[in-house]
Amino acid sequence: MRLSEFKEGDLITRIGRTDPLKPGDVGDGSYMGDKLRFLGITANHVWYQHSESAIFGDDVHNVDMENWDDDRWDYYPEAQIEKWKKKYRGKVPV
């Protein structure tokens, strides 16, 4: 999905890297798997909060649309992650 498709309050995450800026570059993987609360788009910037972060707290952040408005975003899969946590919490991997 593109960032412009989300609405205020949606929990979103990055699902792919940005396009490489130069040959040999792998693209930016920032926010992949991070739980972000989408706040909106203004002044060609995407505004968000890190939903669960001891480092960032509840601060509001932004990134420019030029490099980040592509189709590599999706809703954060909170329900699936919670299901896995309940199923596997406390179990030792084999």
Has residue 54 been placed in a domain? yes
Model pLDDT, residue 19: 82
Has residue 61 been placed in a domain? yes
What is the DSSP annotation of 33-81?
T--EEEEEEETTEEEEEESS-TTTTT-EEEEEHHHH-SS-EEE--HHHH
**75: domain range?**
3-88
Model pLDDT, residue 57: 63
More confident residue, 8 or 91: 8
Has residue 14 been placed in a domain? yes
Q: What pLDDT, in 10s, does the model give residues 42-91?
A: 999 999 998 765 555 678 889 888 878 788 999 998 888 888 888 888 77
Q: In this structure, what CATH number is given to the domain that contains residue 67?
A: 2.30.30
User: For residue 14, is pLDDT > 80?
Assistant: yes
Model pLDDT, residue 47: 94
Has residue 93 been placed in a domain? no
Has residue 53 been placed in a domain? yes
Domain count, the chain: 1
Has residue 74 been placed in a domain? yes
Residue 3 CB: number of other CB atoms within 10 A? Answer: 19
